[in-house]
Amino acid sequence: MHLLIPFASALSESSRHVLRDLPLPNLTRLLTMLTPRPERSADVRSPDVVVTSPEIATTTYLDLFGNVCRRFIAPMGDLQIWGDGTLEDSGAHDPAFWDAQEIAVGELPDDCLIYLMGSRYCETDRLSQIAWDRFGNVAPGWGRVQAICDFVHQHIIFGYQNSRSTRTALEAYEERIGVCRDYAHLAIAFCRCMNIPARYINGHLGDIGVPILDPMDFSAWIEVFLGGRWMTFDPRNNVPRIGRIVVARGRDAADVPLIVSFGPHVLKSFRVWTYDVTDAQPPATR
């Protein structure tokens, strides 16, 4: 089975400015990460199109992690950013590789080492003893990573009202509340403490093959380096899912922000959707 999955997002915001802080009056520089990673380019059936209202010029570049970043200068007042596209997916659930083994640190590829280190939201130094006490006796490999995800899934209570942009992995562990980014940060930190490279993923995950419970949003999950390759785990949902579309990868959420504003702005509304075109209707047009 193959699915055609439209992916889209819309941002609406307004800008206010302190003129002495800007080289040009009434303008704010912005960066966004809304475009799927280049690795899925062969699957694109309708190219990702980004439009703005009012119409302004945008350019793209790849950051250090290979994410597509879009940069532009926003005028004062209301601005809408709209992205839309369709890609083909196999329709298969996330695979499980129970025989995948951990790789000793000394044998890891050089580019994996950065994903063993502490980062802005993943305090490996403060969580190391907790991790080894809980998972040190679990057999290494896929099963140990799954045990970490099982624990995080059960330990944190999900709720959008529990969202906080500054919450770290340690705080999520102590507070036991959070959203998908908090599940991801805690699982990443525990994996790194166990010398398993882990990285943060931001992307689309529609309600394909599962009950619709919440409004769609960008989702966060993780990838872990086992058996010589990066493999998908999802401590928030903790079940195999269909149709993941990776938008950005990084050490943690600090590397993959939805929007970065070099100057004040107010996010007025935000919508995300992704669905299977064979059995769903698109959302209302803007």
pLDDT digits (tens, 9 = 90+) for 157-190: 999 898 999 999 999 999 999 999 999 999 999 9
pLDDT of 285: 44
Position 104 pLDDT exceeds 60: yes
pTM score of the predicted model: 0.89
| Residue 113 half-sphere exposure toward CB, CA atoms < 13 A | 7
Q: Distance (Å, rounded) from C-alpha 240 to C-alpha 96?
A: 8
Window from 80-84, 104-108, 195-199, 264-268 with minimum mean pLDDT: 264-268
Beta-strand ranges (E) seen in 129-286 are: 157-158, 177-178, 198-204, 219-226, 229-233, 245-250, 259-262, 265-274
Window from 9-13, 68-72, 106-110 with minimum mean pLDDT: 9-13
pLDDT of 21: 43
Q: Which residue type is seen at 187?
A: A
Q: Which residue type is seen at 250?
A: G
Position 278 pLDDT exceeds 80: no
Sheet of strand 44-53: strand arrangement: 44-53, 77-89, 3-15, 265-274
Q: Tell which residue, 198, 179, 180, 177, has the closest CA to residue 131.
A: 198
pLDDT of 204: 92
For 198-254, how does the pLDDT look when each residue is reduced to its tens digit (9 = 90+)? 999 999 998 888 887 677 888 999 999 999 999 999 999 999 999 999 999 999 999
pLDDT of 49: 85
CB 120 within 8 A of CB 266: no
pLDDT of 5: 63
Question: What element of type H or E holds 128?
Answer: helix 124-135
* Mean pLDDT value across the chain: 89
Q: Distance (Å, rounded) from C-alpha 76 to C-alpha 257?
A: 22
pLDDT of 4: 63
- Supply 142's token pair: 């896929």
Find where tokens 């419970």 sit.
213
Which domains does the chain show, CATH number per domain?
A: 3-91+257-274 (2.60.40.2250), 105-254 (3.10.620.30)
Long-range contacts of 176-182 (CB under 8 A, 24+ apart): 179/220, 179/236, 180/219, 180/220, 180/221, 180/236, 181/121, 181/220, 181/253, 182/156
For 6-37, how does the pLDDT look when each residue is reduced to its tens digit (9 = 90+)? 656 666 666 444 333 444 556 889 999 989 99
Higher pLDDT, 83 or 43: 43
Judging by beta carbons within 10 Å of its beta carbon (0-12, 13-18, 19+), is residue 217 exposed, middle or buried? middle
